[in-house]
Amino acid sequence: MAKGASVNFIGAISRNFSGFVFVFLLAKMLSAEEVGLFYLGANILMFATIIAISGVDVGLRRYISIAYGHGDAKAAWDYFSTAAVLVFSLSMLLGVGLFAFADLLANAVFSKPQLADVIRLFSPYLVIYALAELLLSVTQGYKQMKYWVLCLDVANSILRIVFAGLAFYIGWSLYGVIAGYVLAILVSTAMAYRYFRRVMPEQPSEQREFRFRSLVTFSFPVALARLLNSGNGILETLFLGYFLTEVDVGVYTVALKIAVIANIILASFNTMFAPIISQLHSQGQMTELRRLFNCVTRWAFSLSLPVYLLVAWYSAPVSALFGEQYTVGATCIVILCIGQLVNAVTGPSGNILLMSGYALINLWTNLFGVLLSVLLIVLLVPQYGIDGCAFAVGAALAVTNVLRVLIAWRVLKIHPYSLAYWKPVVAGTIMVIAVGLLGPARTVDMSVVYLLFASLLAIMGYGLLLLGFGLDESDRLVLAKIKTRVGKT
């Protein structure tokens, strides 16, 4: 379990870093309008992919794991065949449908005629990616977590960047970048098939038995949860595409990528400590679980705080690094950073509920968050544009996570807060005051060297202040867990 979490941790870092690099390159290579068209098309396909896969990959992973434990090769092939029929049929249906009705979707829904060709070029991605997920879910069922990371988080992420750069160099612009995006997942799927053949036993001679009922019954709640989680990035992009222009979608996408740059910190803590949460709850060690909740949340907040503060403070020069046309998203970045700070200060509250057996409650909070986000987007975006969208998303995220903390207190009698939070708050306040008084001017033409140097000095000062305030026993516990996990990685 620990080894798998370590591998996933590496994958999360690779995925987030390469995603940031990819959007930076797109912003440099394409216009804001083309970036908007690219991400609008990509999010349409990702939403369709969630429907096509319908959580079957998770169900397949579960039943393959059970078959592996019992040494039952026939059951493994039965479930894989069932999953392949379900997902291939749905993905082909949706892929062909998107290709055929691209003009209707582009004109009647989004009022963007150029989007039609983008959707058509993206449509093969749906079937290829769905196949990759199925193949790699089998490898995960056989306890080989590294293949998912190698294929999707590393190879696919790097190939996207390489192929996008080659396409632009050749002069293919937007359509070449999309073709490279599809080619990257095709190569990654070929790798996935190789690893699938490595772990999957030989097909037994017995007749295949399709097991639709058990697989669909288990997978449906997962599909519902993923649709609700699609509110995190996908739905707001689709609504922006409906209400605003391609340029607005492009600017918002860049702003979002900048604002969530420190999300990897909380995600990493979630990955590292999720198994421990489940173990402590199952053993009834609520005092230890309470202490862990407090430590993880405080550390995630402490490490995220200086990054979000600096990104918000230097939002104008940071956005200018992507291009002058993206500087109008500076206010949007600030609003998104505030929402992400609230996300950090509420910690792994969703994971606490999920890993403690309250999956249904967590699902309902997801539903509440999506509905609130959609409502606020519909109310605010037509009048306030991307800033209204940022406020809607940030407010919904903040309210949902605060609600989860309150529910955790209600059902588990634990919360993540203590007086020790004064340390990062005071250190962060001093850092911002020092940057404001001593740092360089926040202009859009600010030198990259000055920006990096000022940020590095600020973070070092923040870290020294935290060390000066001292570490308690719980801090040393978290440090020990991190060192152990890094060592295993």
Write the pLDDT tens digit of every residue in 353-362. Answer: 776 777 778 7
Give how far the C-alpha of residue 169 lies from the chain's centroid of Cα atoms, to the nearest Å. 29
Closest of 158, 100, 88 to residue 130, by C-alpha: 88
> CA 421, CA 474: separation in Å to the nearest integer?
13
Q: What is the pLDDT of residue 275?
A: 61
Residue type, 69: G
| Residues 192/56, Cβ–Cβ less than 8 Å | no
The CB-based long-range contact list for 257-261 (8 Å cut-off, 24+ gap) reads 257/19, 257/20, 257/23, 257/24, 258/311, 258/315, 258/318, 258/319, 258/322, 258/333, 259/308, 259/311, 259/332, 259/333, 259/336, 259/337, 259/340, 260/336, 260/340, 261/16, 261/20, 261/307, 261/311
Using 50 as the pLDDT threshold, list the residues of the chain that sit under it: 1-2, 4
Six token digits for residue 67: 């078959």
User: So what's the pLDDT on residue 6?
Assistant: 58
Query: Residue 273 has what pLDDT?
Result: 66
Q: For residue 477, what pLDDT is reported?
A: 66
Cα–Cα nearest to 80, from 172, 208, 235, 175: 208
Q: By C-alpha distance, which of 167, 88, 86 is closest to 121?
A: 167
DSSP 8-state code for residue 209? -
Q: How far apart are CA 258 and CA 451, in angstroms?
A: 15
Tens of pLDDT, residue by residue over 360-415, are 787 888 888 889 999 999 999 999 999 999 999 989 988 988 998 899 888 888 88
Give the pLDDT confidence score for residue 306 in this predicted structure.
92
